[in-house]
C-alpha cells in the first residue's frame, strides 16, 4: 500500500511539475543593448547573456543582467563604465520584476505580432524605479520572441556622470531588449 501511495504521489508531482513548466518560458541568452549619443560621442554597449523568465498564465516577467557582461567597442569605455559609473563590483546586476498586463491577448499558437505593455520595477545601481515600457511579442511557428525599446536616464538610478565627461554622455540612454523564449521544461 505504501508503495502504491508513493507511486501515486510521485506521478502527481511529475504531472503537476510538467504542467507548471509548460506555462513558463525563459532564456539565458537575452540581448540588451544601450546607446548614448551626443554631438561629442556615440557610446554603445551590448550584453547577450540576460536571463528572463515569463509565466504566460499570469504575465509575470523577470529579467536579470550582469553589469560586467556589457561589451563596449573600446576597452577603456568598458573599464570606466564598470568602475566609475556603474560600480559593478558593488552593484553587480540590474533587475526587472513586473508583468505583462495584456498577456491574455497574446495567442502563442497563432503567428503574429502582439503589442504589449510591461509594467514593474527596474533596479539598477541599487536604485529601484517603477517603469512602464511598450513592447511586442512575435509568434512564429509556435516559438516566440519579445522586443522592447525605451529611454533610461542614468540620473534616475543615482549614476553620477563627472562634469569633465558630462557632454560626452547622453542624459537619456536608448535601451533595446530582444529575447527569444523557450519552454522551461526544454532546458531542465
Domain containing 90 — which CATH number? 2.40.128.110
Q: Is 160 inside any structural domain?
A: yes
Q: Is 163 inside any structural domain?
A: yes
Q: Is 105 inside any structural domain?
A: yes
Q: Is 2 inside any structural domain?
A: no
**In the predicted model, is pLDDT for residue 111 greater than 90?**
yes
Q: Is 96 inside any structural domain?
A: yes
DSSP output for 84-125: IIS-TTTS-EEEEEEEETTGGG--TTS-EEEEEEEEEEEEET
Model confidence, pTM:
0.82
51-75 mean pLDDT: 96
**In the predicted model, is pLDDT for residue 12 greater than 90?**
no
Q: How far apart (Å, rounded) are the C-alpha atoms in residues 94 and 117?
A: 20
Q: Are the C-beta atoms of residues 61 and 101 closer than 8 Å to each other?
A: no
Domain that holds residue 154: 22-187
17-57: per-residue pLDDT in tens?
334 344 899 999 999 999 999 888 899 999 999 999 999 99
Q: Is 76 inside any structural domain?
A: yes
100-104 mean pLDDT: 91
Amino acid at each position: 500500500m505504501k508503495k502504491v501511495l508513493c507511486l501515486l504521489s510521485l506521478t502527481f508531482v511529475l504531472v503537476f511539475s510538467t504542467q507548471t513548466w509548460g506555462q513558463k518560458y525563459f532564456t539565458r541568452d537575452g540581448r540588451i543593448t544601450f546607446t548614448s549619443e551626443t554631438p561629442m560621442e556615440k557610446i554603445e554597449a551590448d550584453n547577450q547573456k540576460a536571463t528572463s523568465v515569463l509565466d504566460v498564465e499570469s504575465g509575470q516577467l523577470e529579467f536579470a543582467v550582469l553589469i560586467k557582461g556589457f561589451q563596449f567597442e573600446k576597452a577603456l569605455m568598458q573599464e570606466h563604465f564598470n568602475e566609475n559609473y556603474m560600480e559593478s563590483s558593488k552593484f553587480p546586476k540590474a533587475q526587472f520584476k513586473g508583468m505583462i498586463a495584456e498577456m491574455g491577448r497574446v495567442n502563442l499558437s497563432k503567428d503574429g505580432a502582439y503589442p504589449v505593455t510591461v509594467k514593474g520595477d527596474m533596479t539598477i545601481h541599487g536604485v529601484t524605479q517603477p517603469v512602464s515600457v511598450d513592447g511586442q511579442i512575435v509568434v512564429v511557428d509556435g516559438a516566440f520572441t519579445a522586443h522592447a525599446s525605451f529611454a533610461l536616464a542614468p540620473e534616475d538610478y543615482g549614476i553620477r556622470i563627472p562634469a569633465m565627461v558630462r557632454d560626452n554622455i547622453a542624459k537619456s540612454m536608448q535601451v533595446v531588449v530582444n529575447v527569444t523564449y523557450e519552454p522551461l521544461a526544454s532546458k531542465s
